[in-house]
Structure 1
Amino acid sequence: MKVIQRIKNLFKRGGYALSGQTLMTINDHPKINIDPKELERIERNLRQYQGDYPPVKYVNSQGETKERDFMTLNLRKLSASVLAGLIFNEQCEIVVSDADEENNKPNTFKTANDLVQHVFEHNRFKKNLAEYLDPTLALGGLAVRPYVDVQAKEIEFSWAIANAFFPLRSNSSGISDGVLKSVTTKNVGKQTVYYTLLEFHEWKKSEDGTSLYVITNELYKSENPKIIGKRVPLNEVYEGLEETTTIKGLSRPLFNYLKPAGFNNINPHSPLGLGIADNSVHTLQKINDTYDQFWWEIKMGQRTVFVSDRMLATLPDESGNPPIQVFDPDVNVYKSMRMGADEEVIKDVTRDIRTQQYIDAINQSLRTLEMEMKLSVGTFSFDGRSMKTATEVVSENDLTYRTRNEHVYAVEQFIKGLVVSVLELAKAFNLFSGEIPTFEHIGVDFDDGVFQDRSALLKFYGQAKTFGFIPTVEVIQRVFKVPKETAEEWLKMIHEEQAVIDPINISDRSSKKMFGDEE
């Protein structure tokens, strides 16, 4: 199998060179070999997320082929937005502990926390992540890469949604090598030129066996947005951008990849994630088809009345007298039809719209969608009923709450990885000189106040502490979601405050103030 793959790669490299390094698709690059079905799935997800559907073709009463827009509910977007809002909000707190657990003395983690807070605030990380979680859940992935703006001496973030990130190498721990794609445009006269920058992140070994992190930049130019194009020099768009950059001292990739919780059952060998609706494609299509038919029936179901052509006559009569206008010319309800003298001159042929039948059909499909996406019954409704409140979600041990928690863990690990990457990058560029924290030294509090009753948690853990079942430090960690070092620091401050207001200490201080220290 490995030999066959090597032969394939050899042919790819040869074709790549002979074509003058022109890429039609991302898979034409010799370093990239992704299952085309995965790329097609991501592009399909993006089109549906955008609400981009092909028009509906139909034949009218005259036998002519016509087109109209396909009307959808865009539940891929709606479901992602609902879940994203439950997972993360801008009240989330990210803390790097500032004490050495082993030596129990201050160390550089405090500086690390200051740096992380500055970088995240500078990049409006919380706001951006809250927004990017929407396409992440809809499309199946998100990559964020920190980089250094040398002139400003600031660490910036580059964001890439699922169709702009491609894995090169992966293992059970995640993706180690990858490619980030970004597209910019230039107007040359009346022609729009598309430039695609491919940024390769790879691990390589030096002569002495040291692991080196190598970033390689390649720029491609095309006049067709669907084609990557021919390779051109970087300075056509990016002045001063080095073709290759080598960084030492990293323990993990600079890019951090977030994929929605759950196994990729559609392509089990792919390291890429699935969108939350990827196993519900047929249900989404059924809902959209039903809604489109409902919308068209409403449009076609306006009142229609056939009247005798004599009543809508617009020509003078035989005597030359001008016709008498019977109906308001702005009304489109009446249609002319030749009728005999003994027939009714007005026939109402309007039919009732099957509103309730369509609502029932859509709601039934929505129940199926909720089941497939592991969301609680009542999450979606087409009959105007309000959704459950967050309190109801928790009190009922709601399925949506459990599904939300699965995604929260993935986001938490993603944030911790990004914190480590920021600090390692800052250290490599001499913007930081302290120790790099591990995941255990990083706390992420998702502000679960709407999902977890903090007073109830405090009461529960307080009782456990009273009976000696749990230490105070652990209670602080679990209730307030802070690292162990921070909890220990809080406990120390609490003891100091209690010592200040202790009656015995107050009496001792008063005595000393009145009589002085005893010999």
Structure 2
Amino acid sequence: MGIVQTIKKFFTRSKYVMTTQNLTNITDHPKIAVSRTEYDRINENLKYFAGRYDPIKYKDSNGDYKIRAFNHLPIGRTAAKKIASLVFNEQAEIKVNDSKADEFIQSQLQNDRFIKNFERYLESCLALGGLAMRPYIDGEQVRVAFIQAPVFFPLQSNTQDISSAAIVTKTIKSVGNAQKYYTLIELHEWAKDGKYTITNELYKSDNQNIVGSRVPLSEVYEGLEEVAEPKNLSRPLFTYLKTPGMNNKDINSPLGLSIFDNAKTTIDFLNTTYDEFMWEVKMGQRRVAVPTQMIKTEYNEEGEKIVVTREFEAGHNVYEQFDSGDIDKGIGITDLTTPIRSEDYIRAINKGLSLFEMQIGVSAGMFTFDGKSMKTATEIVSENSDTYQMRNSIVSLVEQSLKELIVSMLELAKAYDLYGGDIPDMTTISINLDDGVFTDRNVELDYWIKVVNAGFGTDVMAIEKVLNVTPEKAKEIKAEISGNNVDEANEERGLDDVGVYGE
């Protein structure tokens, strides 16, 4: 038995050596179909989102080089956070029109705190251009992993969706006094025979900026299989959510753009203006010109004169006065303080914000508030139509992505015998993203009452739109209201209901 195992290990090692690869960058992998340029762009977006800017180098009055922090406005983070909160919040509801499936999904989402986590990660999606979500099994629980743009790499795609992708996980392991950097590449692919395969590849490097050479999975992930084949999957195990609109940086790329990808020059202008403003305030304290008598003179041991000027520092707001010894002439100190150009800088910053709002596609005034009046939801819709349209574009993609995620969660749970019910169709899944900021519920209800009374729509249509439920659920609610079953005789229904339920 020991000989057989030895032979098996020998062939396993031989096969492994034959497939060993060395990678400098993730995009060097032969299966990854996205250029390095796209990920350089994403990493640059991450700097804007995180607010990581190089310090300022300048020369002081003595000619010495100094370094100070760059003052900046968190424009990227603010825009992503504000728009994400308009799209998705804790009032969101996910429902499945199947009691067994709905009960299972609600328990899984609640235990995983999905609603709260998704709202947070949606900021990353908007700032970096995309976000992938992948369900996985954790004991008896189906959890959702959020894969952010810098570690998600499409393998192949069509014009509509990404069907295969690589997901990267990086870890650090101490070996003696040195640190080893490990990169796990998880390849999700569809085989030619229609099977869904997940291939795991582990790479090790001494340099954190290099992927390195391929090594056995057991070095970090004991028990992880090199190849897994989940059964009965109708779609990829992950779902990819990207921002709406065309990627004009690379029209052949399946990846999305950051909401501020086309507004970076404006962000640079705002940050530069803000930094100059802050520095002018800091350096705008009182400055004076003094006569030579106010120069402090010292001598060294050899009798050589050393001249030391008394410099004015930003932290000093009072300058000492020295007597020149000449009572008649006095000292003659001249005030050189210049006024701070606060109004000019503030106007420039506001103009930059207006340009930024136009570039990212939101209504004017979204990032400012005059504090003078409160507006109704109807007025907000009217005045913020650009923001409302942008939100609707994002909402439609979020809803589709969440429906795909629900299907994947149920299929994965069923493959591991955690769920025994049917897999619902996406049309039976409803996503209610509360838009109370924009929508006046009373106005919407009045509108649909008028539509039904005028004969332009049915009660079921009104219930579906006002309550934001699926058509099937709307039929059930209508049946409960009327006290009838959907399957009862048609003669008890109105003409409009017959058109919806069928003869």
Give me the TM-score of the superposition, normalised by structure 2. 0.83
Structure 1 residue 113, shift from structure 2 partner:
1.1
* Cα distance, 1:444–1:163 mapped onto 2, change above 3 Å: same
Residue 463 (structure 2) pairs with residue 457 (structure 1)? no
Structure 1 residue 375, shift from structure 2 partner:
1.0
Task: Return the alpha-carbon distance in structure 1 between the equivalents of residues 220 and 89 of structure 2.
Answer: 36
Task: Return the alpha-carbon distance in structure 1 between the equivalents of residues 47 and 85 of structure 2.
Answer: 22
The C-alpha deviation readout for 1:6-48, integer Å capped at 9, x for no partner, is: xxxxxxxxxxx99952322111212123222211100000111
Residue matched to 2:286? 303
Residue matched to 1:334? 319
Residue matched to 2:302? none
Would the aligned equivalents of 1:307 and 1:334 in 2 still touch at CA under 8 Å? no
Task: Return the alpha-carbon distance in structure 2 between the equivalents of residues 387 and 142 of structure 1.
Answer: 37
| Match among 150, 161, 182 for residue 169 of structure 2 | 182
Would the aligned equivalents of 2:49 and 2:74 in 1 still touch at CA under 8 Å? yes
Give me the TM-score of the superposition, normalised by structure 1. 0.81
Would the aligned equivalents of 2:182 and 2:204 in 1 still touch at CA under 8 Å? yes
Residue matched to 1:93? 93
Residue matched to 1:195? 182
Task: Return the alpha-carbon distance in structure 1 between the equivalents of residues 376 and 200 of structure 2.
Answer: 46
Residue 156 (structure 2) pairs with residue 169 (structure 1)? yes
Residue matched to 2:37? 37
Say which SS state the counterpart of residue 143 (structure 2) adopts: strand
Residue 278 (structure 2) pairs with residue 291 (structure 1)? no
* Cα distance, 1:38–1:336 mapped onto 2, change above 3 Å: farther
Residue 127 (structure 2) pairs with residue 123 (structure 1)? no
Would the aligned equivalents of 1:305 and 1:335 in 2 still touch at CA under 8 Å? no
Residue 238 (structure 2) pairs with residue 249 (structure 1)? no
Residue matched to 1:373? 360
Say which SS state the counterpart of residue 201 (structure 2) adopts: strand
Task: Return the alpha-carbon distance in structure 2 between the equivalents of residues 387 and 427 of structure 1.
Answer: 54
The C-alpha deviation readout for 1:191-223, integer Å capped at 9, x for no partner, is: 4433221111000033xxxx1100011122233
Say which SS state the counterpart of residue 33 (structure 2) adopts: coil
Residue matched to 2:476? 489
Structure 1 residue 337, shift from structure 2 partner:
9.9
Would the aligned equivalents of 2:73 and 2:271 in 1 still touch at CA under 8 Å? yes
The C-alpha deviation readout for 1:56-111, integer Å capped at 9, x for no partner, is: 2222222222222111102111111110110000111111112xxxxxxxxxxx21
| Match among 383, 394, 415 for residue 396 of structure 1 | 383
What letter matches 1:261 in structure 2?
P
Would the aligned equivalents of 1:220 and 1:230 in 2 still touch at CA under 8 Å? yes
Q: Which moved more, 1:34-43 or 1:342-351?
A: 342-351
Residue matched to 2:216? 233
- Could you tell me which runs of 5 or more consecutive residues in structure 2 were left unpaired when the two chains were aligned: 1-16, 300-314, 486-503
Task: Return the alpha-carbon distance in structure 2 between the equivalents of residues 486 and 35 of structure 1.
Answer: 45
Say which SS state the counterpart of residue 445 (structure 2) adopts: helix
Structure 1 residue 308, shift from structure 2 partner:
5.2
What letter matches 1:270 in structure 2?
S
Q: Which moved more, 1:121-130 or 1:178-187?
A: 178-187
Residue 270 (structure 2) pairs with residue 281 (structure 1)? no
Q: How does 1:417-496 map to 2 (within 5 A)?
A: 417-496=404-483
Task: Return the alpha-carbon distance in structure 1 between the equivalents of residues 442 and 88 of structure 2.
Answer: 21
Task: Return the alpha-carbon distance in structure 1 between the equivalents of residues 173 and 322 of structure 2.
Answer: 58
Would the aligned equivalents of 1:258 and 1:410 in 2 still touch at CA under 8 Å? yes
Residue matched to 2:70? 70
Residue 62 (structure 2) pairs with residue 59 (structure 1)? no
Let me know the Cα RMSD of the aligned residues.
Answer: 2.9
Structure 1 residue 343, shift from structure 2 partner:
6.2
Q: Which moved more, 1:303-312 or 1:68-77?
A: 303-312
- Could you tell me which runs of 5 or more consecutive residues in structure 1 were left unpaired when the two chains were aligned: 1-16, 99-109, 317-329, 499-519
Task: Return the alpha-carbon distance in structure 2 between the equivalents of residues 74 and 390 of structure 1.
Answer: 29
Residue 125 (structure 2) pairs with residue 136 (structure 1)? yes
Structure 1 residue 374, shift from structure 2 partner:
1.1
**What fraction of aligned residue pairs are identical, expressed as a percent?**
45
The C-alpha deviation readout for 1:142-194, integer Å capped at 9, x for no partner, is: 00101123xx2221211111101010100022000001112222344554433
Q: How does 1:267-278 map to 2 (within 5 A)?
A: 267-278=250-261
Q: Which moved more, 1:299-308 or 1:338-347?
A: 338-347
* Cα distance, 1:308–1:435 mapped onto 2, change above 3 Å: same
Residue matched to 2:136? 147
Structure 1 residue 483, shift from structure 2 partner:
1.1
Q: Number of matched residues?
A: 453
